A = this chain, B = another copy of it.
Amino acid sequence: MKYRDISDALAKLDQIEATAAAYYHAIGILTTDAATAAPSDSYEGRGRTMEVLSGVVYNLVADPENQELLSYLETHKQELNQFRLRQVELLRKQVDQLSRIPQEEYVAYTVLLNQADSVWCKAKNENDFASFAPILEQIVEYNRKFAGYYNPNLCTYDALLNEYEEGLNMQTLDEFFSQLRTALVPLIHAIGQKEQIDDSFLKRSYPIEQQKKFSDYLMEVMGIDPARCTLAETEHPFTNGFNSRDVRITTHYYENDVANSMYSVIHEGGHALYELGGDQSYDFTSIQGGVSMSIHESQSRFYENIIGRSREFVELIFPKMQEFFPEQLKDVTAEQMYRGVNKVQPSLIRTEADELTYCMHIMVRYELEKQLMDGTLQVKDLPQAWNKMYQEYLGVEVPNDSQGCLQDTHWSGGMFGYFPSYALGSAYGAQMKVFMERDIGPIADLISKGELSKITDWLREHIHRYGQLYKPGQLFQMSCGQFDAKYYTDYLTEKYTKLYNL
């Protein structure tokens, strides 16, 4: 027997986890640096470093001794607490997956993704899909192949979905999206018949320096500790959390679109609160961090929409907003601002979409990902398919690929199966609102009083602090019962029926 006793085996597990955490941290900082501060020509050196570091991580997880360690711990399950059981479960999954991925493929894929980001970024800036297509083809092929490594028992796309949300599959999503379509399409159609909300004041010139100060203010209102979370600028906003005392969020400023960065900051801020709210004792272990993309998006989109686009929130921050932008907002009221940031209008860009048509953008990507993964769509035909679906789902004409299939960073990051999380997370959030209000009363009242901390406390208590201790479905069920899309469609129907006097 290799291990003297259970604590000897657990010490070995701790050592593996601490080492892995260090490498993930270094890789994460290199990734963050690449997107925020690195010179554009620096990719070769970073690629080499990523190759070395990810090779070590591969070896750490794929180490044949881990099989022995896991077997030992799995035969001593009755002696392990929930934390240890979950560590074992997560390592088992990783070990089994990596044992199926040849090291050279794993490392080559990591290196490919490092290159892909700058290729995509350039292609998007220059509206040149053709220059991105070859690398995207490779990424698609890797994903199709890796899906089989991840879970050989599932079909390709289900295996990828499971990487972002354990237990999710196309059957669930087809049904979920069908429910959404049934509720939302008539609503969007009815709104299309009504008079347009005027949001032209959002497109005035808002100096970026002032927007930066406004961002700091928004983070303060959300209760994000600047000593633990900093904000940077990137092409596409993201959150990267390393532990409960080191989280990074990013935004992108547009001088003529004040709402864009505003809601990016609130969205990423929601992700940040989740990462910051994890039990500190989970730091540097596999239990640290958000458990799934849907739960993560439930937090970000809860903050962005349910809080950030509520009348009460807009009323709360509007006086301060007017201080930051006195000229731009001198003839605007809080009510106009509330209506402006909730204007429903089918459009081209997902991240700028209103809360209601947003899910349509996700459905386009979901359908296209399914087709790319089952081989019925080729990468070269993606722009055409994209444009066709935008016409069909949103009724908009896509003028170029920069505003079309090149708009998102996800595919260049290899993240196929991620997009549905946005819609599912939004629906999770709406259900959380109902269950939260049973405990702490109407959140509208709390927001009016600026008591966002009470909302965050509830989320920390029921979601954040657990990190990855439970599977996402289980975690959700513990606080909100059985998932039902109706909470979400009810929330949207009520809000927009009222807003548009339907």
Contact = CB atoms under 8 A, between A and B. Distances in A.
Interface of A: 18-19, 21-23, 25-26, 29-30, 32-33, 36-42, 44-46, 48-49, 51-53, 56, 209, 225-230, 232, 242-243, 245-248, 283-284
Contact of A41 (B38, B56, B227): B227
A22 B209 contact: no
A48 B21 contact: yes
9 smallest beta-carbon distances between A and B, as pairs: A42-B246, A22-B52, A22-B49, A41-B245, A41-B227, A25-B49, A26-B26, A40-B227, A45-B243
B22 A48 contact: yes
A183 to B, nearest CB: 41
Nearest to A232: B37
Given A25-B45, A48-B284, A209-B209, A39 B243 contact: no
A45 B242 contact: yes
Contacts of A232: 37
Contact of A44 (B19, B46, B245): B245
A52 B230 contact: no
B38 A230 contact: yes
A284 B46 CA distance: 11
The count of identical subunits is: 2
A268 to B, nearest CB: 14
B227 A18 contact: no
Given A26-B30, A29-B30, 10 more contacts: A21-B48, A25-B49, A32-B33, A36-B37, A39-B227, A39-B230, A39-B246, A41-B225, A41-B245, A44-B245
For A26, A52, A248, the residue with the greatest tally of chain B CB atoms inside 10 Å of its CB is A26
Contacts of A227: 39-41
A241 to B, nearest CB: 10
Contacts of A52: 18-19, 22-23
Nearest to A56: B56
Contacts of A242: 42, 45
A281 to B, nearest CB: 13
Contact of A247 (B21, B39, B44, B53): B39
Contacts of A247: 39
A22 B246 contact: no
Contacts of A53: 22, 26
A228 B41 contact: yes
Contacts of A283: 45
Contacts of A36: 37
A247 B38 CA distance: 8
Contact of A39 (B19, B229, B284): B229
A154 B94 CA distance: 52
Contact of A45 (B40, B56, B226, B284): B284
Contacts of A46: 25, 246
Contacts of A19: 52
For A229, A232, A246, the residue with the greatest tally of chain B CB atoms inside 10 Å of its CB is A246
Contacts of A38: 230, 246
A37 B37 contact: yes
A19 B49 CA distance: 8
Contacts of A29: 26, 29-30, 33
Contacts of A228: 39, 41-42
A265 to B, nearest CB: 16
A41 B230 contact: no
29 contacts: A19-B52, A21-B48, A21-B49, A22-B51, A26-B29, A26-B53, A29-B29, A29-B33, A33-B33, A36-B37, A37-B37, A37-B232, A38-B230, A38-B246, A39-B225, A39-B245, A39-B246, A39-B247, A41-B228, A41-B246, A42-B242, A42-B243, A44-B243, A44-B245, A45-B242, A45-B243, A45-B245, A46-B246, A209-B209
